[in-house]
Amino acid sequence: MKIRIFWVVFTALLLLVTYAWVSTAHFGPLDIFYIRLANQFFAVLGVVFIFMQFVLSARIKTLEEGFGLDKMLHYHRYFGRIGLIFLALHGLLYIIYELLEFGGVMTHFYFWLGIIAFIGFLITASLAVLYKRIGITYEAWKNIHLFNYVLFPLALIHVFYNASTGTLLYYLWIAFAVAYALIILYRVYQIYRMRSNPYQVIEVKQEAEDIWTVSFKGREFSYKPGQFLMMQLLRDGVLSPSHPFTLSSSPTWDHISITPKESGDFTATIKETKVGDKAFIDAPYGVFSFLNYDAHELVFIAGGIGITPFMSMLRYISEKQLPLEVTLFWGNKDESSLCFQEELEMFQEKMHNFSSILIMSKQKNWPGEQGRINAQLIQKYLPDLEGKDFFVCGPPAMSNAVMAELQKIKVPASKIHRELFDF
């Protein structure tokens, strides 16, 4: 689904629920009853935005092909925050109305369901923002986040109870409940499909001091160079949480590979993976591939392990002997983080229109470029930017800085393509 179509459908959904709310509202002289109407409207909008979180995180292929899963998960966060704001306004106006009208807040079973759902959403959203700062592991946060699947039905029951029987809003909540059930069934099917087709680790190779390539054999699937997968590893009877990893292999290969860096709680143990271990893989995802664009002059800008999608693309370009002009800028702290050196040198010899520029930010004795990737450095090697497509992948701070540098030298937004490195 194209992004434009998604926004048209979502806007139509908002208009529909707004119309459904208006059709049940009784407007009269301006008084405190309008506080009640506003609190109901915020409840409607809050539930819609929270519902969209599950749509955006369900890995629905038709939708993902237009967005890219990385961008969908970013929208997932924003929709959740907007939904929480609406639900908070709903609760605040409800209390104000009850105090003004009755002198106290009337509580009942369905009221408490709404309170439990809101507090639960607030906790999981806060952990999503703060889990790194407060020392909670990604795995623990993700397991807590799954509790939202229990909380949302409580919110639906709460709003369904307050909808008048036979109204459009009443039937819309039924439709939302059915759609939510279908999302759950789809996710269960995805898990079943992954578990029914396990992959096997065929090689674990150290590429640099803390970088490893893990290769797998299993059910074949088509993918574009630059895409990524979601994976769970089964090692010594322990199943890891699902993690995203860029495919560093070429679609022309008879196996797939990933090349993670030891950084998070899970990736720090990647070197403990053994040949013969099982993996459950859901793929492919992402739209970060030069094949998605009419691009002939490619500029790859990588930060650290952000080189992996570009290795997939370079391997594909080399093996397919595509007549493309490719320039790679690759920034690292020091040369201990470098990998694929022999292969990059081979590309230099084999691909006549390929050049790579390695930049070290913290190694003073590096004979090549030092510092950060900036506009001046890019223009030093590429004085003519006309017709070039820029692909950027790296940690968020590096990626944002490069985007700002590209804007300085007037690279059109339509010519900049970015992979959102951090989910």
Among 137-146, 213-222, 284-293, 405-414, the minimum mean pLDDT is found in: 137-146
Is pLDDT above 70 for 422?
A: no
Per-residue model confidence (pLDDT) at position 128: 82
Q: Note whether 389 and 293 are within 8 A (CB).
A: yes
Structural domain spans, the chain: 3-194, 201-285, 290-420
148: CB partners within 8 A, 6+ apart: 53, 54, 120, 121, 124
| pLDDT tens per residue across span 153-209 | 999 999 998 888 889 999 999 999 999 999 999 999 999 999 999 999 999 999 988
Is pLDDT above 80 for 330?
A: yes
Is pLDDT above 90 for 25?
A: no
Percent of the residues in the chain that have a pLDDT greater than 90, as a whole number: 71
Q: Note whether 137 and 175 are within 8 A (CB).
A: no
If pLDDT is split at 50, 70 and 90, which confidence band does 332 have?
A: very high
Asked if 3-194 and 201-285 have one fold, the answer is no
| pLDDT tens per residue across span 111-159 | 999 999 999 999 998 988 887 788 787 777 888 888 999 999 999 999 9
Per-residue model confidence (pLDDT) at position 213: 97
72: which 2 tokens?
């969908």
What CA–CA distance (Å, rounded) separates 328 from 348? 11
> Residue 148, by phi and psi: left (phi above 0), alpha (psi -120 to 50) or beta?
alpha
CATH 2.40.30.10 fits 201-285, yes or no: yes
What mean pLDDT do residues 274-293 have?
Answer: 95
Structural domain 3-194, CATH architecture: Up-down Bundle (1.20)
What mean pLDDT do residues 370-376 have?
Answer: 95
Pairing mode of beta strands 369-370, 354-360: parallel
Burial of 243 (0-12, 13-18, 19+ CB in 10 A): buried
Q: Hey, what CATH topology would domain 290-420 get? A: Rossmann fold (3.40.50)
What mean pLDDT do residues 322-336 have?
Answer: 94
If pLDDT is split at 50, 70 and 90, which confidence band does 421 have?
A: low
100: which 2 tokens?
């003004």
What CA–CA distance (Å, rounded) separates 174 from 17? 13
Q: Supply the pTM of this predicted model.
A: 0.88
